A and B are shown apart, each in its own frame.
Chain A
Amino acid sequence: MQHLSSERIAALVDEPATHDERTHLELCTHCRADFVAVRRIVAAAASERERPIVPLVPWHQLASALREEGVLTVNPAGLAVTPVSVRAITSAPSLLTPPGYGGPFVSVRTRWPQIARMAAAAALLVTAGVVGGRLTADGPSMPSAARDAIAAVQPAAPGVSATQVAQYRSPDDARATLHSAEETYSGALLWLAAHDSALAPRASGGADAAAMNYRQRLEVLDAAMATARRALYEAPDDPVMNRYYLATLGAREVTLRRLTTVLPASQQVVEY
């Protein structure tokens, strides 16, 4: 019997073979290898369905389009109002909205002071980290700018400093600033994940060491995502945590792709 056509072999993943075809597949290593390869491709394709990606459109852009379309309504204060239909779904049990979350008409307006406090707390954390890092790097002598920065934020904790509040004229203004900073942060994060020479194959360790480094990073990113996910249970609307989660998800995807580049061609990432 002649070799089976490639399309017929592709069909045999779903359709039963005839007696002759079955006999041929048992005897012909070439056709059997083709069949196994196609079946592996189909299995791998099916597993793709559950693989998430970083959203293609950032929320601020989608929200703007939704407002233009009149789908996202804005109240006189300029704040988005969640439609009843969305509240019905987001108040149902789900990953981000555990039982008990949300109630009737939990509007963005009533939550804004809380969100502002959380965003300010995050900013405070970053500022303190930067200042702390500088202090550590500079030794015991504290630069005057650092002292001023600490003095400026200390009285406001755990709230918002007067200087920070004065920078923003409206919630949209604050959101725009937050988004701009987040985009810069995400871009740098993804670039580092793809180009960080510290994790690239090195002469000393080679590809094996690089793969181990990527695996360690993936473990850390998974832990970070799990923490962010738990935080989103508590504050599903929080912009900082949403962005942190998405940025971590993106970094994980990039790292996973980097891991595949340092593995031998015969290896496929199934788990790390």
Chain B
Amino acid sequence: MRALWAEHAPRVDAVVRRLVHDPDEAADIAQEVWIQIFRALPSFRGDAQFATWAHRVAVNRTLNALRRARRLMGVHEELMEETVTVEDDVEGPFVRESIAQALDKLPRGARTVFVLHDVEGFTHEEIAEQLGITSGGSKSQLFKARARLRRLLAPLMDHLSTPTLEEGYAAPVV
């Protein structure tokens, strides 16, 4: 069990940490996740990679824990009412302007949707099912989250080189 944990904990726990703002709460949930993983192992049929299965368990369990703590109540309203109030923070060193740090500035609901879609690779349909919202609502929150991250990271991003012609707009592959 320990070998299994040692191999997969660095990535499974990373999922939990990205979804949960508070480090202590994240540690509690990570423990719940691993108990759930080991408890559910007999039901693991091996038709997927263990890492993929554990990742899914981690996301589900973390969202359940957050939901249980009513962390996700009214995420849409929370996002709509949020205002940008971090001008002082972005004056800090480079590391504080990283995306991981900026994520902490997002409302929980927006953070959850952004992490699930842009980091963990879930589709809007999957996110909608997980969070009990519509896929349109998931998209809306994702775009608000991205726009807010852009504002939060503006000092950093604006220091980067100006976009070249190649970096200009190109239609996404859909």
Known: A63-B2, A83-B38. 9 other contacts (CB 8 A): A10-B144, A16-B172, A48-B99, A48-B100, A57-B13, A65-B31, A83-B42, A94-B50, A242-B6
Contact of B121 among A29, A37, A49 (CB under 8 A): A49
CA distance A205 to B40 in the complex (A): 54
In the complex the two chains form, is A16's CB within 8 Å of B171's CB? yes
Q: Interface residues, chain B, CB within 8 Å of chain A?
A: 1-7, 9-11, 13-14, 16-18, 23, 26-27, 30-31, 34-35, 38-39, 41-42, 44, 46, 50, 93-95, 97-100, 114, 118-121, 139-140, 142-147, 149-151, 153-160, 162-163, 167-169, 171-172, 174
With A37-B153, A38-B146, A96-B3 already in contact, the answer to whether A12 and B119 are too (CB < 8 A) is no
For residue A260, which residue of chain B has the nearest CB? B95
In the complex the two chains form, is B149's CB within 8 Å of A69's CB? no
CB distance from A208 to the nearest CB of B (A): 15
In the complex the two chains form, is A56's CB within 8 Å of B147's CB? no
B-contacting 9-mer, from A84-92, A143-151, A152-160: A84-92
In the A-B complex, list the 6 residue pairs whose CB atoms are closest, starting with the nearest: A52-B10, A10-B146, A6-B147, A55-B9, A25-B169, A36-B163
In the complex the two chains form, is B99's CB within 8 Å of A44's CB? yes
In the complex the two chains form, is A17's CB within 8 Å of B169's CB? yes
CB distance from B26 to the nearest CB of A (A): 6
CA distance A40 to B144 in the complex (A): 16
Contact of A35 among B34, B151, B169 (CB under 8 A): B169
In the complex the two chains form, is A97's CB within 8 Å of B3's CB? yes
Could you tell me the dominant secondary structure of chain A's interface residues?
Answer: helix
In the complex the two chains form, is B150's CB within 8 Å of A33's CB? no
In the complex the two chains form, is A56's CB within 8 Å of B163's CB? no
CA distance A174 to B16 in the complex (A): 31
CB distance from B136 to the nearest CB of A (A): 12
In the complex the two chains form, is A236's CB within 8 Å of B94's CB? no
Q: Interface residues, chain A, CB within 8 Å of chain B?
A: 5-17, 22, 25-26, 29, 32-38, 40-42, 44-46, 48-57, 59, 61-63, 65-66, 69, 71-72, 80, 82-83, 85-86, 88-90, 92, 94-97, 232, 236-237, 239, 242, 245-246, 249, 257, 260-261, 263, 265-268
Chain B positions within 8 Å of A53 at CB level: 10, 13-14, 17
Chain B positions within 8 Å of A17 at CB level: 169, 171
In the complex the two chains form, is A11's CB within 8 Å of B2's CB? no
Contact of A41 among B10, B155, B157, B171 (CB under 8 A): B157
In the complex the two chains form, is B6's CB within 8 Å of A7's CB? no
Chain A positions within 8 Å of B118 at CB level: 42, 45-46
CA distance A99 to B30 in the complex (A): 29
CA distance A88 to B120 in the complex (A): 27
In the complex the two chains form, is B168's CB within 8 Å of A57's CB? no
Contact of A52 among B11, B97, B146, B156 (CB under 8 A): B11
Q: List 29 A-B contacts (CB under 8 A).
A: A13-B172, A15-B174, A16-B174, A25-B169, A32-B168, A36-B163, A36-B168, A37-B160, A41-B99, A45-B114, A45-B118, A46-B118, A54-B13, A56-B16, A56-B31, A62-B34, A62-B35, A66-B34, A69-B39, A71-B35, A83-B38, A83-B42, A86-B4, A86-B41, A95-B7, A96-B3, A97-B3, A236-B6, A268-B160
CB distance from A23 to the nearest CB of B (A): 10
Chain A positions within 8 Å of B10 at CB level: 52-55, 249
In the complex the two chains form, is A82's CB within 8 Å of B1's CB? yes
CA distance A80 to B2 in the complex (A): 10
Chain A positions within 8 Å of B139 at CB level: 11
